[in-house]
């Protein structure tokens, strides 16, 4: 199931005989390429051991809300931020009640309160408990789109009863979770994305560049691919793996990037420019290495590079274009000026003076600014930010 590749899944195991099925669920998530962490309630440990869950997932098991070690490394807030999806399987009647009541007195319920991802829950309980009016009331309070119910099935139960309440099989669960990452919002759309820095040669061994890691552009390429887009990625020098099913072109200088972009423009529906393109280049690249012994100081004579974004916008007025504004001051004002001057459909602004969300960080916080609206995406992983940007583009830019 390719749509689960590289997804971060938090599997919450609660108390119940169906806890043994969690082992198979971990195996299926892992075989689909997901990174799985396991959270166990105290009751769950009575049915299956944390050591089993740790061995299968390859990660330490989380269980104690007040564990000082856990809080210093990945507390309930960070664990909630980490997850692309939370899967509670099995979900006992007691856990269902905690979710419905907004409780936060154990690690599972606290993580779910802090989560900004979807929460899948697979109920598992005796048929009488499942039919109880209080259970029905609790279920009614867990609403879409945050909570997604999976099952339960009907059949023989461990207590000897027959009826509804059996946990859905692991294969059913993983198929439903996988579908949430493949809604195909950009099905068939051809998207060009630029990423990373560019390098402008000074001499054969030196160059001018910047601190861009390319992580945001690569995350956007991955998010667009997951929405069934046909993605071409033009990137400067970065140390990142190409997302699955994304076509990649490597360039070095701003001129090379500009040429490749211009070549690709006639075939695309959307251009997303995340690359941190050098504004200047050497007027005259030195043929030989500049020797420091030759002079106590030397001056570099620079000239402007072509503004790729402005050029594409000017020559392709019908093309949908998204730009990025990496600013260190007056974030919103500077972004709006860029939106207007370069005639963009959308600009994504972020404050690169903040080291926690700036260059080379794994997290980001951005503002999406168009002619009609302004939306803030709060600090979270770049993968989650990218998915939200792609969703916004699909709804507000490509559907216009």
Measured CA to CA in angstroms, residue 22 lies from 108, 171, 330 at distances of 15, 11, 50
- Separation between Cα atoms, residue 367 and residue 377, nearest integer Å: 6
**Cβ neighbours for 341, distance < 8 A, ≥ 6 positions apart:** 310
Q: Say if residue 145 is preceded by a cis peptide, omega within 30 of 0.
A: yes
Measured CA to CA in angstroms, residue 157 lies from 25, 36, 126, 376 at distances of 20, 28, 7, 48
Please report how many Cα atoms fall inside a 13 Å half-sphere around the Cα of residue 286, on the Cβ side: 14
- Separation between Cα atoms, residue 308 and residue 276, nearest integer Å: 11
Tokens linked to 385: 């930010």
- Tell me if 120 sits within 8 A of 85, measured CB to CB: yes
DSSP per residue, 25-59 = HHHHHHHTT-EEEEEE-TTGGGTS-HHHHHHHHSS
- Tell me if 149 sits within 8 A of 136, measured CB to CB: no
Number of separate helices (H) and strands (E) present in the chain = 14, 19
Is 159 annotated as catalytic?
Answer: yes
Q: Which of 12, 91, 112, 159 is catalytic?
A: 159
Q: Which residues are catalytic?
A: 159
């Amino acid at each position: 199931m390719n749509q689960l590749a590289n997804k971060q899944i938090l599997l919450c195991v609660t108390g119940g005989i169906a806890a043994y099925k969690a082992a198979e669920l971990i195996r299926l998530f892992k075989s689909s390429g997901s990174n799985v962490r396991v959270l166990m309630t105290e009751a769950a440990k009575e049915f299956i051991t944390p050591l089993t869950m740790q061995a299968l997932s390859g990660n330490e098991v989380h269980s104690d809300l007040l564990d000082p070690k856990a809080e210093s490394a990945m507390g309930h807030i960070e664990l909630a931020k980490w997850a692309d999806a939370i899967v509670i399987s099995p979900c006992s009647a007691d856990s269902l009640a905690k979710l419905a009541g907004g409780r936060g007195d154990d690690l599972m319920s606290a993580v779910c309160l802090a989560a900004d991802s979807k929460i899948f829950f697979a109920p598992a309980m005796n048929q009488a408990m499942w039919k109880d009016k209080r259970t029905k009331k609790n279920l009614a309070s867990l609403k879409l789109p945050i909570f997604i119910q999976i099952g339960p099935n009907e059949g023989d139960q461990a207590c000897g009863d027959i009826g509804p309440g059996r946990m859905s099989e692991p294969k059913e669960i993983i198929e439903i979770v996988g579908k949430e990452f493949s809604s195909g919002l950009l099905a068939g759309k051809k998207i060009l994305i630029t990423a990373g820095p560019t390098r402008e040669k000074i001499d054969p061994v030196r160059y001018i560049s910047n601190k861009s890691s390319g992580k945001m552009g690569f995350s956007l390429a991955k998010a667009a691919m997951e929405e069934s887009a046909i993605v071409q990625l033009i990137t400067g020098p970065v140390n990142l793996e190409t997302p699955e099913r994304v076509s990649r072109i490597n360039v070095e200088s701003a001129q090379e990037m500009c040429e490749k972009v211009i070549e690709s423009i006639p075939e695309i529906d959307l251009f997303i420019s995340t690359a941190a393109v050098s504004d200047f280049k050497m007027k005259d690249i030195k043929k030989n290495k500049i020797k420091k012994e030759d002079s106590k100081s030397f001056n570099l004579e620079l000239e402007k590079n072509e503004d790729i974004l402005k050029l594409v916008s000017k020559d392709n007025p019908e093309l949908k274009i998204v730009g990025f504004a990496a600013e260190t001051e007056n974030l919103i004002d500077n972004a709006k000026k860029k939106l207007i001057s370069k005639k963009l459909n959308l600009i994504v602004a972020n404050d690169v003076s903040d080291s926690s969300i700036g260059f080379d960080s794994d997290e980001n916080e951005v503002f999406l600014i168009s002619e009609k609206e302004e939306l803030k995406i709060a600090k979270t992983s770049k993968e989650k930010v990218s998915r939200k940007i792609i969703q916004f583009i699909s709804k507000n830019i490509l559907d216009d």
